[in-house]
A and B are shown apart, each in its own frame.
Chain A
Amino acid sequence: MSKAPKLATGDWRPRLRAAGLTLPLLAFVAATFAAPLATMLVRSVHDPVVADALPATLAALEDWDGLSLPGEEAFAAAARELARARDERTLGRVAGRVNRVRSGLRSVVAVTGRRLPDGPAGSWRATLTAIDPAWAEVESWHALRTAGERFTARHYLAALDLRRLPDGSVVRQEADRRIHLRLFARTLWVSLGVTFLCLLLGYPLAHHIAHAPSRRAGALLALVLVPFWTSLLVRTTSWIVLLQGQGVVNDLLVGIGLVPDDGRLALVYNMTGTFIAMTHVLLPFMVLPLYSVMRAIPRSHMNAATSLGASAPQAFARVYWPQTLPGVGAGCLLVFILAIGYYITPALVGGSSGQLISNMVAYHMQTSLNWGLAAALSAIILACVLGLYLLYDRVAGAERASLA
């Protein structure tokens, strides 16, 4: 390989000024995208609430063997710091954090904090145990110690339905508390299904538009794009109108006698609704890349294939389909990535069986306020998408290189 001759670089100031024009964009991206993303990633592993509120307690627990109850020293520190947390009004947050590690501890911590007397009646250990017998359980102190980790993997463990035992080993969550993996699997499954449906519906449509006379092609393309002009909310709610028990589709099916009146199909507020609505919303993202690739394939290619003796299926499989692969790849990737993070549509039409992982993220953001877990879940989604993209880029990149 010969090196390209180095060109005179010339005056750098105009170029710097030109680069300066992109500064507003860079600032915008940094403020609205990079910073929140970084915050989220940090939040998924960093949780200082308990560590800041109970430093002495946690210090006292440091050399605790974890088998029997900790010593009086730890009980005293806990009492002192819970009282302080009560006075500084952080008790609720601390209780919430501990509760996430071991449910049921919220009230234990909160009630104890509120009922703490100024001095111990006998030992602090007796006092606390009197307020709530949970203080006499080793597991409560384990929970306190875990919640006190400033940097922690517990959100990721929780996101993957894992938990850590007091001895440090990682095991699966009890069966009735495993929800995330199932949701991840369902999300993956729905995304793949929606991608496949979009391809199945979008491919012939894109083909038709790409090879229609230009007037009709323009009109059809506009029809594909019309959904973009209406609000996502409007589109999704109109699906409810169409699909509900007394909706248009069911009325039609009953009307033509395909379905008995008392056996109307449950098309919405379940997985079916999520599938239908998501496929509809994401279809344009499949059609557009396919269309642009198909437009570039001259009609003469198919004519050439048939004149060379190929049957229509042969001509399609050998000549047309391979040339559309870049569009198929781009469209599938786009739809899949959008589907994996889809939120509004499943939230509105999914019912309880049609919820996806992003609805869980939203739940932890808005309702349970477990932002650490929400962040961990999001980070896992992000990693999946990035991995997928890299995979696609490798495959497509190799393809491009061999085409060049």
Chain B
Amino acid sequence: MVRYLSMMPNPAPSRHPPHVEFGGVSKSYDGRVLAVRDLNLAVRRGEFLSLLGPSGSGKTTILMMLAGFETLTSGAIRIDGRSVHALPPRRRGIGMVFQDYALFPHMTVAKNLSFPLEVRGIDPARQSELVDRALALVRLEGFGGRRPGQLSGGQRQRVAIARALVFEPELVLMDEPLGALDRHLREEMQYEIRRIHRTLGVTIVYVTHDQQEAMVMSDRIAVLRDGMLEQAAPPEALYEEPERSFVARFIGENNRLHGRVAKIRDELCEVRVGDETVTGLRVVECSEGDRVTLSIRPERVEIQPEAGRYTNDFEAHLEQITFVGDHLRLRMETCGREGFIAKIPNVLGQGRVLEGDRIRVGWTPTDCRVLDHGGPREGEGE
């Protein structure tokens, strides 16, 4: 049995319940396969949380359940500590930005924005005031008279965001809102959304499958895989301290070595990888003989270290050197694994090595995380 020794301190206990809380939420569309399984996740008030995962990992499903468009198979969703089970979507007070924007094509931008205000019976003077403010927020003053068909992709995007914010919801959901935009516009919109989040202090749950985007924007990222929450942590922690081999693989670049636990020494353990023994930091609880994955960031690997400096000191066969501007990318074979990567700063005189050389590499045990073996998760019948 593998259990997780969380590296993250628990969120500071607070007198207030979390803004949004998923308690053991599962969802099955067809009664057989679970699209979301046993999700436990809390979102703080004012937090920017991203749901990150590959296609089909259940991100949209989670959002739809929170918005009230899909029912839960089991578990409960609580907003401000109260279950929203019986609350229809229109009473949840959630602003939602749809992946396809879902702007109403037969209404002008201003009409789109005033729609949520009209159905709430807000008086017209106040309506136009709020609409103007929302348009200013997304920097679209003067566009109120246009129809969505007369806007560019980025402008439509901003209208969709403005419409989700105009009725001043405390919780805003965004489903891959930047998916259709080109890179330049994406970066600009990422910045805009961050700015709006800071300005208004709303809670945002943001769906994306782009890890770069999630890293840039989020206070915290929840990584999903096959409907299961792998890890929820701030971007830095996710990068530096992945707790699951899937996260290590999904976030940034990682070298992964597979082996069996040979010996446990407090928080460290020795792992048999091929003919070598690698010492790493024990992130998962494991016992001798367990299959595990070791994860080492390429930039933490040192080339030709002083002899005796590292316990993890191995021979390597250098296959390829690639020049990538500010650093060099070395591809080698070590510990019986081809395609092991090391990144070294492009500094003059840095350990002169050539392709085909036999070299030595080393890394500290704390930069080498011992994670689950990375196959299908338990309970899935391996």
For residue A309, which residues in chain B have a CB less than 8 angstroms away from its CB?
Answer: 90, 93, 116, 119-120, 167
For residue B246, which residues in chain A have a CB less than 8 angstroms away from its CB?
Answer: none
Q: Which of A298, A301, A309, A404 has the most CB of B within 10 A?
A: A309
The reply to whether A318 and B115 contact each other, CB–CB distance below 8 Å, is yes
Nearest to A301 among chain B residues (CB) is: B102
Contact of A307 among B90, B105, B106 (CB under 8 A): B90
The reply to whether A311 and B119 contact each other, CB–CB distance below 8 Å, is yes
Residue B56 at the chain A interface, CB threshold 8 Å: no
Task: Report the bound CA distance from A303 to B279 in whole Å.
Answer: 53
Q: A306-336: contact bitstring with B at CB < 8 Å (1 yes, 0 no)?
A: 1111110010001100110000000000000
Nearest to B64 among chain A residues (CB) is: A303
Task: Report the bound CA distance from A300 to B69 in whole Å.
Answer: 10
Given A300-B98, A303-B69, A308-B163, A322–B115 Cβ distance below 8 Å?
A: no
A-B contact count (CB 8 A): 64
Residue B283 at the chain A interface, CB threshold 8 Å: no
Q: B92-129: contact bitstring with A at CB < 8 Å (1 yes, 0 no)?
A: 11111011101011100000000110011000000000
For residue B147, which residues in chain A have a CB less than 8 angstroms away from its CB?
Answer: 403
Given A300-B102, A403-B106, A404-B149, A308–B116 Cβ distance below 8 Å?
A: yes
Task: Report the bound CA distance from A308 to B168 in whole Å.
Answer: 11
Nearest to B163 among chain A residues (CB) is: A308
Residue B67 at the chain A interface, CB threshold 8 Å: yes
Contact of B102 among A303, A310, A314, A322 (CB under 8 A): A303
Task: Report the bound CA distance from A305 to B68 in whole Å.
Answer: 13
Contact of A311 among B90, B95, B102, B104 (CB under 8 A): B90
The reply to whether A300 and B100 contact each other, CB–CB distance below 8 Å, is yes
Task: Quote the shortest CB–CB distance from B69 to chain A (angstroms).
Answer: 5
Residue B88 at the chain A interface, CB threshold 8 Å: yes
Contact of B115 among A300, A303, A310, A404 (CB under 8 A): A310
Residue B89 at the chain A interface, CB threshold 8 Å: yes
Task: Report the bound CA distance from A72 to B233 in whole Å.
Answer: 118
The reply to whether A298 and B115 contact each other, CB–CB distance below 8 Å, is no
Q: B35-72: contact bitstring with A at CB < 8 Å (1 yes, 0 no)?
A: 00000000000000000000000000000000111000
Residue A386 at the chain B interface, CB threshold 8 Å: no
Given A311-B119, A403-B147, A403-B149, A306–B90 Cβ distance below 8 Å?
A: yes
Task: Report the bound CA distance from A314 to B119 in whole Å.
Answer: 8
Contact of A323 among B93, B94, B105, B116 (CB under 8 A): B105
Given A309-B116, A310-B115, A314-B119, A304–B88 Cβ distance below 8 Å?
A: no
Given A303-B69, A403-B147, A308–B100 Cβ distance below 8 Å?
A: no
For residue B104, which residues in chain A have a CB less than 8 angstroms away from its CB?
Answer: 301, 304-305, 319, 323
Task: Quote the shortest CB–CB distance from B142 to chain A (angstroms).
Answer: 19
Task: Quote the shortest CB–CB distance from A309 to chain B (angstroms).
Answer: 5
For residue B69, which residues in chain A have a CB less than 8 angstroms away from its CB?
Answer: 303, 307
**Chain B interface main SS type:** loop
Task: Quote the shortest CB–CB distance from A211 to chain B (angstroms).
Answer: 14
The reply to whether A304 and B105 contact each other, CB–CB distance below 8 Å, is no
Query: Using a Cβ–Cβ cut-off of 8 Å, how many residues does chain B contribute to the interface with A?
Result: 26
Contact of B67 among A307, A319, A403 (CB under 8 A): A307
For residue B149, which residues in chain A have a CB less than 8 angstroms away from its CB?
Answer: 403-404
Nearest to A311 among chain B residues (CB) is: B90
Task: Quote the shortest CB–CB distance from A290 to chain B (angstroms).
Answer: 16
Residues B122-160 near A (CB distance < 8 A): 147, 149
For residue B92, which residues in chain A have a CB less than 8 angstroms away from its CB?
Answer: 307
For residue B106, which residues in chain A have a CB less than 8 angstroms away from its CB?
Answer: 322-323, 403
Task: Quote the shortest CB–CB distance from B124 to chain A (angstroms).
Answer: 16
Given A323-B106, A403-B106, A308–B115 Cβ distance below 8 Å?
A: yes
Task: Report the bound CA distance from A311 to B116 in whole Å.
Answer: 11
Task: Report the bound CA distance from A314 to B69 in whole Å.
Answer: 17
Given A311-B90, A323-B106, A304–B96 Cβ distance below 8 Å?
A: yes
Nearest to B67 among chain A residues (CB) is: A307
Task: Report the bound CA distance from A322 to B108 in whole Å.
Answer: 13
Task: Report the bound CA distance from A311 to B120 in whole Å.
Answer: 10
For residue A304, which residues in chain B have a CB less than 8 angstroms away from its CB?
Answer: 96, 98, 102, 104
Nearest to A320 among chain B residues (CB) is: B104
Nearest to A302 among chain B residues (CB) is: B102
Task: Quote the shortest CB–CB distance from B104 to chain A (angstroms).
Answer: 6
Task: Quote the shortest CB–CB distance from A304 to chain B (angstroms).
Answer: 4
Task: Report the bound CA distance from A403 to B150 in whole Å.
Answer: 9
Task: Report the bound CA distance from A300 to B103 in whole Å.
Answer: 9
Task: Quote the shortest CB–CB distance from B31 to chain A (angstroms).
Answer: 16
Task: Quote the shortest CB–CB distance from B289 to chain A (angstroms).
Answer: 49
For residue B119, which residues in chain A have a CB less than 8 angstroms away from its CB?
Answer: 308-311, 314, 318
Task: Quote the shortest CB–CB distance from A273 to chain B (angstroms).
Answer: 40
The reply to whether B105 and A308 contact each other, CB–CB distance below 8 Å, is no
Q: Which of B68, B96, B104, B167 has the most CB of A within 10 A?
A: B104
For residue A322, which residues in chain B have a CB less than 8 angstroms away from its CB?
Answer: 106
Nearest to A322 among chain B residues (CB) is: B106
Task: Quote the shortest CB–CB distance from A1 to chain B (angstroms).
Answer: 18
For residue B94, which residues in chain A have a CB less than 8 angstroms away from its CB?
Answer: 307
Residues A243-266 near B (CB distance < 8 A): none
Task: Report the bound CA distance from A307 to B163 in whole Å.
Answer: 11
For residue A308, which residues in chain B have a CB less than 8 angstroms away from its CB?
Answer: 90, 95, 115-116, 119, 163, 167
Task: Report the bound CA distance from A314 to B104 in whole Å.
Answer: 14
Given A311-B119, A314-B119, A318-B115, A306–B102 Cβ distance below 8 Å?
A: no
Nearest to B94 among chain A residues (CB) is: A307
Task: Report the bound CA distance from A303 to B149 in whole Å.
Answer: 20
Task: Report the bound CA distance from A314 to B90 in whole Å.
Answer: 11
Task: Report the bound CA distance from A403 to B116 in whole Å.
Answer: 22
Task: Report the bound CA distance from A314 to B100 in whole Å.
Answer: 22
Task: Report the bound CA distance from A303 to B119 in whole Å.
Answer: 15
Q: A369-385: contact bitstring with B at CB < 8 Å (1 yes, 0 no)?
A: 00000000000000000
For residue A303, which residues in chain B have a CB less than 8 angstroms away from its CB?
Answer: 67, 69, 89, 96, 98, 102
Task: Report the bound CA distance from A318 to B163 in whole Å.
Answer: 16
Task: Report the bound CA distance from A314 to B117 in whole Å.
Answer: 13
Nearest to B96 among chain A residues (CB) is: A307
Nearest to A298 among chain B residues (CB) is: B100
Task: Quote the shortest CB–CB distance from B166 to chain A (angstroms).
Answer: 9
Residues A123-178 near B (CB distance < 8 A): none
A–B complex contacts, Cβ < 8 Å, 17 sampled: A298-B102, A300-B102, A301-B102, A303-B98, A303-B102, A304-B96, A307-B67, A307-B94, A308-B115, A308-B116, A308-B119, A309-B116, A309-B119, A310-B119, A311-B90, A323-B104, A404-B149
Other 6 A-B pairs with CB < 8 A, given A307-B68, A307-B89, A403-B106: A306-B89, A307-B67, A308-B119, A309-B90, A309-B116, A309-B119
| Top-4 shortest CB links A-B | A308-B116, A304-B102, A300-B102, A307-B96
